[in-house]
Amino acid sequence: MNIMNLLTALPGAVAQGLIWGIMAIGVYITYRLLDLADLTVDGTMCTGGAVCIMLMLKGYPVWMALTVAFLVGMLAGFVTGFLHTFMGIPAILAGILSQLGLYSINLRIMDNKANQAINVDKYHLLVSLRYIKNVPVYQNTILIVAVIIVVLIAVLYWFFGTEIGSAIRATGSNPNMSRAQGINTDVTKILGLMISNGIVAFASGLYAQYQGFADINAGRGAIVIGLAAVIISQVLFGKIQSNFAFKLAFVSFGGVIYYLVLQVVLWLGLNANDLKLVSAAIVAVFLAIPHLNAKRKGGAGNA
């Protein structure tokens, strides 16, 4: 086990972690703010990349491709919200239905191909695996994604401080009280799901560029990675999360920590085929830590 191999792989792990950290911010909106288990993200994590790559292959600029990816992700979130609120389908089942339907839609977007690649030498990409080392600072993928995260957090911090943003947060905190205060919780749930899936699809567009291709299976298990980042940030930084902006920042850091842990595990000799198992184990461990700590403190108090 060569330590140099690990050090060489770390910048790539950080870049991937930051991109998935953007996705995790989207998951945080539904999982923490709305208190909804939304599985749509496993579909939109493919949809955004598919839309972005296909538009760029057709000659559209990267900023337009990412914008459309974001809007398509919002549309997917709207469908899930509509199924949940107006058709009375439980949120987790509504997300599964949307995810299932997106599989066929994603194939159509990619001209019925499971994979669509883009050449970094022929197209101007915003981020890429090849932009990690030996490139000008302004082109470095890690810096660009970090700047995007800062801008995203600033926009979300402003938005969730507005009246409608506060209504979304209130809906997740106490829907009954929110309705009593005149808030249309169906609308706020739909809007929250739209914002969440739009952010996920945007992250997917970045990730597809980073890899150099869009793949029909790109989103499989995405919810696990998103939850891992959210839970890791809560466990490691929960005591120092003083405001909403810091919470979002630490969620993105959670994505980086997750990928760094995976990189170390791979370096130790894990078979790459076992990554999904390890991902599930990481989430399970971090989910259990708060419970075990509370149980330990309770036991110490009783003693």
Determine the pLDDT at residue 228. Answer: 83
Determine the pLDDT at residue 134. Answer: 81
Q: What is the pTM of this model?
A: 0.91
For the chain, which ranges sit under pLDDT 50? Answer: 1, 303
Partners of residue 116 on adjacent β-strands: 214
Pick the CATH number of 3-302 from 1.10.530, 1.10.3470, 1.20.1070, 1.50.10: 1.10.3470
Q: Where are the domains of the chain?
A: 3-302
What token pair was written down for 197?
């899936």
What token pair was written down for 292?
């075990």
pLDDT per residue as tens digits for the range 113-140: 999 999 888 888 999 988 888 888 888 9
Determine the pLDDT at residue 240. Answer: 73
Determine the pLDDT at residue 276. Answer: 76
Determine the pLDDT at residue 274. Answer: 78
The percentage of the chain sitting over the pLDDT mark of 90, rounded to a whole number, equals 56
